[in-house]
Amino acid sequence: GAGVSQTPSNKVTEKGKYVELRCDPISGHTALYWYRQSLGQGPEFLIYFQGTGAADDSGLPNDRFFAVRPEGSVSTLKIQRTERGDSAVYLCASSLRGTRDLLETQYFGPGTRLLVL
């Protein structure tokens, strides 16, 4: 079946603008995760959804960042008043149960490359 998909693949915006990044998880996966990856670094956790609710949003850097998953499937990461430091690759992942399953892995999408000018 289809893997995790993310749109757009690239986004260029100006400082101060609002952007939305979309993630379509693998069908049937209840858990969804957002990470941010800066150049030369490993991914950094942002937020994790179990179904429709955010189970852990401790990685969101500030209140300009917000994510939703209203129907427990597609998720949107929203960034208000973008800053140049927000430029990064935003990765989305999904997993089947999102419970404390020690064998469960996260399946990653290709990412959205955000550039804030």
Partner 1 sequence: KQEVTQIPAALSVPEGENLVLNCSFTDSAIYNLQWFRQDPGKGLTSLLLIQSSQREQTSGRLNASLDKSSGRSTLYIAASQPGDSATYLCAVAGGTSYGKLTFGQGTILTVHP
Interface with partner 1 (CB under 8 A): 4, 31, 33, 35, 40-45, 48, 50, 55-56, 58-59, 91, 93, 95, 98-100, 102-103, 105-111
Of 14 and 42, which has the nearer Cβ to partner 1? 42
The torsion defined by the Cα of 37, 51, 58 and 78, in degrees rounded to 10, comes to 60
The C-alpha atoms of residue 110 and residue 59 are separated, in whole angstroms, by 20
Shortest Cβ distance from residue 80 to partner 1 (Å)?
24
Shortest Cβ distance from residue 15 to partner 1 (Å)?
25
DSSP string of 29-48?
Answer: --EEEEEEE-TTS--EEEEE
Shortest Cβ distance from residue 34 to partner 1 (Å)?
11
Of 55 and 117, which has the nearer Cβ to partner 1? 55
The C-alpha atoms of residue 82 and residue 95 are separated, in whole angstroms, by 29
